[in-house]
Each structure stands twice: as structure tokens, then as C-alpha cells.
Structure 1
Amino acid sequence: MTVHAAWKRKLRNTVTGYLFLLPTLLVLGTFLFLPVFYSMYLSVHKVSLLGQVSYKWVGFDNFTRMAHDERAWIALKNTASFVLFVVPVQTAFAILLAVVLNAKLKFKNFFRVVFFVPTVTSSAVLTLIFMWIFNTNGLLNKILEAVGLHGYNWLGDPAVALKAIMMMNIWSTAPFFMVVFLAALQDIPDALYESAMLDGAGKWRQFWSITLPLLKPATFFTVVMGIIGTFQLFDQSYIFSAGSGGPNNSTLTVALLIYQYAFKNLDFGYASALAVVLAAVILIITLIQRRLFTEDKN
């Protein structure tokens, strides 16, 4: 085969490959990359929707405005608290479920299906179920009244509302990560545990010295995905508070605040600036985690 023929064949294969990728690239470009770049464009403009749509360049004014926005700081605090509590707990809970269901138990396939059901259930449905549980006339208060205690306005208490969303998120998300850890556990060679048993290592020693270290890649994945998901908390908070972030801004998250500024106040420039900052925070934390994981692996 001549050099010219080889070059033509390589070119044809390259063009064919990109043609196969074209539908995916068009979808990603339309629904991912274009909105991202447009949001960045809006973040440095003041958008007016009165009459003809107009864009006024304001530079970094939308970003500096955040420093004086009390609700932005409240939303950031709530989101950070949510992330710091939910991610470690749901990761540990997922590992626990995976280890239990990986053991030699009867009906373990049945329990795997039962535990996984919340993951495939609509988030809106789960939120409504938890609202019914914590409602003043809900299941939790009925149980308290049955044992002679007074009911409580759980969803009306700022100290409880966000914690209820945390519980729901852990319960609905941990089973998905459980499947990830189950797959990782089944890749660990049995010979390692057999050697440890011969050396006199008990179950706890095997767990801390073999299971956990070999679960690090799966743990990295679940923590990163957990952080990305919890930073973008919106639907549960929106349904719980009817879009207000109440009571007393206790369920206000950054994603919900972005929605309020964009679609209630029609302040698309400032909302886009908040979205850009949120994306930057998620990206930075992910890169730091990847760096730490790589160093730990080396």
C-alpha cells in the first residue's frame, strides 16, 4: 500500500468516526456546551426583558454583588452544611449496605432489589412521602401521639427542615452507591481474605486492611458524584418549601436561589453569575479530590 493510499484510508476512517460522533456532539453542543457558554456571557451582563431583550455589559459587578447578598451567604451555608453531612454519611451507609449484601445471606438478591427501589423512584414522589411523614398530621406525629407524646411542626422548624431533606437524600441516594461498592467488592480476590485468615486476621482487621483500601477507587467516584449532586440540590428543597426556601431560609440552597433570581426576579445576569460560581466551586473541589487521590495512590 502506497503512502498516499494509506493517508486516504486514515482520513476516511477519521471522517467516518466523526460522522458517527456527530449526533452525540450536536446534542452535547446544544444542551450542554451552548448553555454553559451562554450562562458565562450572561454573568457579565445586565439583561433587560422589557420590550426588546437587551444586554448591558457590567463586567464583574454581578460577582461583587454576591459579597453583599445576605441570602447568597445563607444559601451557601445551607448548601455547605448539606454537602458536609450527606456525602460522608451516604458513602459510609452505602459501604455498610454493600458489605452486608455481599455476604452469604439468604434472599440477598431480594434485599438488593428492595434497597435499590428508592434510587429508581421519582425524587418528587420521595419528597412528597417525606413531607407526609414529617407533616403535622403525618406518620411521625401519629406515632408520637400513640405513645402519649405531643406532635410537632417539624417542617415549620428551621432547625429540622433541612435535616429532613438530608435524611431523605441519604435514604434515596445511598442504594445507588451501594451498587457501585458491590461491584468493587466482587472484584477483590478471595485469596487475599484467605491469606489474611491464615495469618490470624479477624473480620475487622480484614475490613480495615483489605476491603477499605481496595475500595478507594469506588470511594473516590462516589464522593465526587455525591459532592456534585448535593451541591446542586434543588428539587427536594423546592418542593419542601414551595419554592421559597423556608422556613426562615433554612432550606434555601444555591441552586434554589439561582432559580428564584432567574425565574421570579428575572435577574438572569446575577443568576448566571451565581451559577458560574457554583460550577467553579464544584470543579475546584473535584480537582482537589482527584489530586489527593492520585497522590495517595502513588
Structure 2
Amino acid sequence: MGNNMRGKRQFKRSFYKLADSPYMFIFPYAALFSLLIVLPVAVAIGLSFTYFNTVQAPKFVGFQNYIDLFTGDTIFLQHAISNTLFYAVLVGPIGYMLAFFLAWMLSQVPHRIRTIYTVIIYSPSVTGSIMVTVVWKVLFSGDRTGYLNYWLMKMDIIQEPLQWLKSPELLVPIMIFIALWGSMGVGFLAMLAGLLNIDKTMYEAAYIDGIRNRWQEIFYITIPSMKPQMLFGAVMAIIGTFNASGVAATLSGGSPPPQYAGWMIVDHANDFGFTRFEMGYASAVTVVLLYIVILFNKISYKLFGEHE
């Protein structure tokens, strides 16, 4: 009986000691991160060295998928990579700066009005796919009943309807416009939260020390005080732009879109993975995209990360 009681007490002490361990606090995050991030990435990297048609067992082919990708896949080299980089380099920085500018403007207005404007600005990022299907396709419709064509013809700016969504030269600018319209997502909210939590006494001290205008205030006080939020916004902008897919096909009504205009790396991976069922090759495409995203994230950490 005494041994049982002693064993129970030792078990309780061990349990409480384990419960107080800091590893128990990070275990749920570590488990979910491993299950949802590390494992899928490891599986994708492993499949990228195989031929896998989703029916038969994966067959190891070494680096053949990567060789084919960079030597024989002209659509990937001429369209997917260039379109994705152009889209990301243009939409990412512009959307990022626009998010900061709008968040800074909202931080200057009273709370009740700020809440209303925040909901209005944030809502397009939530309803993005619905807006593409319902609003933008009707606005840019290529017939005379399309809103934009109707008003341009009524004002005698154009004489015939323009095929906005069928022309490769017009489709990409429309994609960029729509992306910027819906780019005020969680990064924008993070920046707004960072701006609202800056100690106001820092601005008073800065003006005593010699700051004379709002531009100096932003560059010397505001941005250094909210570097974590700026970094988070940059990472979310990078992930969002490089993860873009299906917009051109949805707008143009066909996949692939005309002359592969707006064809992204994710579109290429989805095409091989879920249309042609070449999962090994699609995995190689996603691994290349992963390395590109990591490279751009490293640049963001250089700019906004803590170097001390």
C-alpha cells in the first residue's frame, strides 16, 4: 500500500514538472507546424524527384523533373516565371506601400470613423474571388453591355467595344488593378495596430529634439517603432503575390488564358498536378516557387528584421 502511494506521488510530481516545462507551451504549435507545414514541404520535395501519376506508386527519376523544367518547359520559362516575378515585384511593393499609407491615414482619425473605414478598406480582401466573378467580369465585359465599354462608347472615347478580358495586353493590367484593389489584408490590419500602439510621447520628444515635419516623423519615429508589423506586412505581401493563381483564367473564361497572359507559377503547378496528374513534376514547380519565396523573405528580413 505504501509503495502504491509513493508511486502515485512520484507520478504526480513528474506530471506537474512536465506540465510546468516550457516545452509543453510550444508543443501544440510545434505539432501543428510540423503537421501542416514541415510534412507537406518534405513530401513535395520528395515527390519532386519522382514520376507520380496519382494512380501508380511514385517512380524515382532523380533530377529529371528539374532538368525538364529548366530546359524544356518553355511555358514555365517564358510565361510562368516572368509573369509571377512581374506581378509580385509590381503588386507587392505598391500594395505594401499603399497598405502603410492607408493605415497611417486611418491612425489620424477618430476611433468610430476609423472602424468604419477599416471595414470598408479590408472587405475587398475577404470578398476577392466573389468580386472577380460577379463585379469585375461584368465591368470589363467585352460586349456593348459591359459597363466600361458602355460608358466609354457613350462618351465617344471608343467606337467599338474593347475585348478587355480576351486581349493579353489588357488582361495583365486588369489583373494588377484587381490585385491592388484587394491587397489590404491582414498586413494592413497589422500595420494599423502597430501605428495605434506607438507611444505618442515619442513624437513630442522628437519634435523637441529637432524633427520639423511629418516625413521626418514617419521615417525616424513611426517606421522604426513598428518594425515587427512592417516585417509581418512584407511577409504577407510576398506570400500573397507569389501565391496568386487562377485570376487570369477566371477573368478570361478559359484555362489557359489567351497567350498565357497572367499565367502564374501556381497555375502551372495546378495544371500539371490536377489536370495532367503529373504530381512529381508539379511538386518540382512548387519547390522552385518555395525557394523564390524564401529568397524574397530573406530580403524582407534584411530590411525590417532586428539586427541587434
- Determine which of 161, 169, 176 is the counterpart of 1:166: 176
Of 120, 124, 142, the residue aligned with 2:150 is 142
Counterparts in 2 of 1:207-246, with a 5 A limit? 207-242=218-253, 244-246=255-257
Structure 1 residue aligned with 2:203, among 172, 178, 193? 193
| Percent identity for Structure 1 against Structure 2 | 24
Aligned to 1:87: 92
Give 1:111-190 correspondences, 5 Å limit.
111-121=117-127, 123-128=128-133, 129-136=135-142, 137-150=145-158, 151-190=161-200
1:66/1:72 contact within 8 Å kept: yes
- C-alpha separation in 2, matches of 1:6 and 1:202: 63
Residue aligning to 2:64: 61
Residue 70 of structure 1 corresponds to: 74
Residue 60 of structure 1 deviates from its aligned partner by 0.3
Which 5+ residue runs of structure 1 have no aligned equivalent? Answer: none
Q: Is the 8 A contact 2:187 2:232 kept in 1?
A: no
1:12 CA displacement: 4.2
Note if contact 2:228-2:305 (Cα within 8 Å) is conserved in structure 1: no
Aligned equivalents of 1:180, 1:216: Cα separation in 2: 11
- RMSD of Structure 2 on Structure 1 (CA): 3.0
1:88–1:40: structure 2 CA closer, same or farther, 3 Å change rule? same
Alignment length, in residue pairs?
Answer: 290
Residue 14 to residue 59, structure 1, CA distance change in 2 (3 Å): farther
CA shift in 2, pair 1:253/1:188, >3 Å = same
User: Cα distance 1:119–1:53, how it changes in 2: closer, same or farther (>3 A)?
Assistant: same
Distance 1:174 1:238, change over 3 A: same
Alpha-carbon distance, 1:29 to partner: 5.4
Q: State whether structure 2 residue 21 is matched by structure 1 residue 38.
A: no
Q: 2 CA distance for matches of 1:279 and 1:168?
A: 24
Is the Cα–Cα contact under 8 Å of residues 241 and 251 in structure 1 kept in the other structure?
A: no
Question: Deviation string for 1:26-73 (max 9, x for gaps)?
Answer: x65555444333222221111245xx6132211000001111211111
Alpha-carbon distance change, 54 to 155 in structure 1, aligned in 2, over 3 angstroms: same
Give CA deviations for 1:70-90 in whole Å, capped at 9, x if unaligned: 111110100000110011111
**Alignment partner of 1:173: what SS?**
coil
Counterparts of 1:94 and 1:19 in 2: how far apart (Å)?
A: 34
Match of 2:261 in 1: 250
The one-letter amino acid of 1:62's match is N
Change (3 A) 1:288 1:96: closer
- What is the CA–CA distance in structure 2 between the aligned matches of 1:278 and 1:162, rounded to whole Å? 20
**Judging changes above 3 Å, is the alpha-carbon distance between structure 1 residues 12 and 193 closer, same or farther for their aligned structure 2 residues?**
closer
**How far apart, in 1, do the equivalents of 2:164 and 2:27 lie?**
51
Q: What is the letter of the counterpart of residue 260 of structure 1?
A: D
Point out where structure 2 has 5 or more consecutive residues left out of the alignment.
1-9
Q: TM-score, normalization: structure 2?
A: 0.82
